[in-house]
Structure 1
Amino acid sequence: MFAKIFLLTALLIGVSCRHIQIVHRPNAYVQDSTNLVEDDLEDLYSEQEFESVHPIYLTPRVRRQAHGVLNSNPDGSMNIMGKLPLAGNNNNALSAIGGISGAKPGGFSSASAGLALDNVNGHGLSLTGNHIPDMGNQLTAAGKLNLFHNDHHNLAANAFATRTMPQNPVIPNFNTYGGGLDYSFNNKLGASLSAAHTDLFKRTDLSAMGNVNLFRNPTSSLDFNAGVSKSISPFIPKQSWQPAFGLSYSRFF
């Protein structure tokens, strides 16, 4: 059943999507730097017992109560992500998801809401609506396919398509699509490669990022992130790789 849903969503993405521009991956799907989705899977159906020879992410459990993550940005603003399980069985979990990014006194940078379907083997699908004040709205379909996992390593591929609908009538609706690879080791070290393209602006965004978890317990996490990004477009005169780094502190609730 899950495979059929995944295939149908992939086909819908391919039919509806042209090319798009987004500087970063969609909020609800790929900006889950605190692994809220994966933590859900590890806590799903916790009353069931499995043989200890299996890695924990091969036998996920889903939380049955609402929960979320609060973390901070370098400019002092906050990001809030929440998730509410709606239905599920031993293999799949359907949840309502939502979040606010860049929240600070006087406003926020974006707000999102949608649905996420998570599979016991690490696969996932999501459909998310995003509102950006003074800019417009976005609708994103995304999917994740777990390629490999064992006791120490985890490798997953992801893809998304976003439809942006600007409030300015002069700017037409446009599409962005992209994808990437995410790798993690012992939930301590991580790396990702991603690319996104927006045909309207003839722009392609590339990024390579890495992160190290410095501290983590059931209620908080501190991570160091570093990497480089580059935008390629005939309208951008300077197209060199730009470094980025910083600390991210998250609080789970």
Structure 2
Amino acid sequence: MLTIQFFALALLATAHARSVYLEDLKLQPYLIDVTNIDQDDFEDALTDHRYESVHPAYLNRVRRQLGSMSTNPDGSTNLNLKVPLVRGESNVLSAVGSASGIQSAAGYRDAGIKAGPGYGAAGGGLALDNIHGHQMSLTGQHVPGLGNQLTAAGRLGLVNTENHKLGANAFVTRTMPNIPNLPNFNTRGGSLDYSFRDKVGASLGMAHTDLLRKTDYSAMGNLNVFRSPTSSVDLNAGFTKSQSPFPAFNHNWRPQGGLSFTRYF
């Protein structure tokens, strides 16, 4: 029954953040659905040792007991928190929080955006993880210079074994700008991702914003270069494409990637 419920919610899930540029509206770039900590595996939320004997196959990876801190190619930092609230035999309900694109004063001056420290987006919400790889979440966040966003997301675990993980994701984000004459608008999308032994992975994603008549595509791959119980180094590379009748939003396939460092705590 739970699997059927998650399948129905697969239209409300995602695994990837999408960048939207409103250059003609004089806005800075911002991220949609950057609160993606709900994508973490079920074992990341388990801190009760009784699960080690019941489900040992799901506990052979790094356990994120509270959260993680990661770096971006531009030098900014992301913080994620995930605190279990209620545990069952197959499900964990957690409180989640995140802050992305945290920059120092020097970082913002170098980027030519503004002087002084700041962040790209911050928020929190609730996430439900199932032992079979199904997930869903409801999160809200504030984006400085734009407004607020509410995201409903979910994941259907198609394959969830020790060596192979395949999932279908979908999401819908409601953006509520605090900019005069800019109406509320929705962005919806989805992706399909695969990973082998948590070392090599790939994903295909798409997101569409009706207001901008803009569709974003992505084809990405990732390689885990190093992992320890407390840290991880990952290489991400791929291509992105945007289609829109507005030239400011339209571009063909562009390379994208970088090396990221993550610290778990």
Normalised to the residue count of structure 1, the TM-score between the two structures is 0.84
Q: Tell me, yes or no, if the aligned pair for 2:10 and 2:156 is still in contact at 8 Å.
A: no
Query: Are residues 217 and 28 of structure 1, via their aligned partners in 2, closer, same or farther at CA, if it must alter by over 3 Å?
Result: same
Q: Tell me, yes or no, if the aligned pair for 1:202 and 1:234 is still in contact at 8 Å.
A: yes
Asked if 1:6 corresponds to 2:14, the answer is no
**What is the CA–CA distance in structure 2 between the aligned matches of 1:219 and 1:49, rounded to whole Å?**
19
2:153 aligns with 142
Q: Percent identity of the aligned residues?
A: 51
* Residue 155 (structure 1) shift: 0.3
Q: Tell me, yes or no, if the aligned pair for 1:220 and 1:251 is still in contact at 8 Å.
A: yes
1:100 aligns with 99
**What is the CA–CA distance in structure 2 between the aligned matches of 1:103 and 1:125, rounded to whole Å?**
26
One-letter code aligned to 1:48 = Y
**What is the CA–CA distance in structure 1 between the aligned matches of 2:244 and 2:165, rounded to whole Å?**
33
Q: Tell me, yes or no, if the aligned pair for 1:22 and 1:176 is still in contact at 8 Å.
A: no
Normalised to the residue count of structure 2, the TM-score between the two structures is 0.80
Aligned residues: 237
Asked if 1:201 corresponds to 2:212, the answer is yes
* Residue 36 (structure 1) shift: 3.7
**Structure 2 residues not aligned, in runs of 5+:** 21-30, 105-116
Q: How does 1:34-183 map to 2 (within 5 A)?
A: 36-41=40-45, 43-50=46-53, 56-57=57-58, 67-105=66-104, 106-183=117-194
1:18 aligns with none
One-letter code aligned to 2:75 = G
Asked if 1:239 corresponds to 2:241, the answer is no
Q: Tell me, yes or no, if the aligned pair for 1:27 and 1:112 is still in contact at 8 Å.
A: no
Query: Are residues 60 and 86 of structure 1, via their aligned partners in 2, closer, same or farther at CA, if it must alter by over 3 Å?
Result: farther
CA RMSD of aligned residues (A): 2.8
- Where does structure 1 differ by over 3 angstroms across 4 or more consecutive aligned residues? 1-11, 21-25, 35-39, 48-51
**What is the CA–CA distance in structure 1 between the aligned matches of 2:60 and 2:175, rounded to whole Å?**
34
**Structure 1 residues not aligned, in runs of 5+:** 15-20
CA displacement, residues 84-110 of structure 1 (integer Å, 9 cap, x when unaligned): 110011110000000110112311110
Q: Tell me, yes or no, if the aligned pair for 1:130 and 1:137 is still in contact at 8 Å.
A: yes
Q: Tell me, yes or no, if the aligned pair for 1:112 and 1:128 is still in contact at 8 Å.
A: yes
Q: Tell me, yes or no, if the aligned pair for 1:36 and 1:69 is still in contact at 8 Å.
A: no
